Amino acid sequence: MLLPPEERSAILALKAAGNTVFTRLEETGLEFLTQLAQANTQEILALDADSTRSNCWKSSQQARAAIDAVIQLAPSQK
């Protein structure tokens, strides 16, 4: 599932987020940033852990910071 190009650009413009964060968000089934407006970081990291069958991202402070930044971006994309 691909995010719209303008949402992809907004995510990639975040200091904490990059291609890996973008790819992992898509792998969790995310279609639009507005879906994240009500989400929390732990939910997103848990979804990623389930989809990748790996807990390393779930315990990463850098990953948490990146997802926090994307969640903060989400309401501005409505």
Query: Do residues 69 and 16 make contact, with C-beta atoms less than 8 angstroms apart?
Result: yes
Report the 3 state secondary structure along 34-46. HHHCCCCHHHHHH
Query: Do residues 11 and 22 make contact, with C-beta atoms less than 8 angstroms apart?
Result: yes
Distance between CA atoms of residues 9 and 12, nearest Å: 5
Per residue of the chain (78 residues), give pLDDT as tens.
Answer: 567 888 888 888 988 888 888 788 888 777 777 778 788 888 888 888 887 777 777 788 998 999 999 888 887 665
Distance between CA atoms of residues 41 and 65, nearest Å: 9
Predicted pLDDT of residue 65:
92
Distance between CA atoms of residues 76 and 59, nearest Å: 27
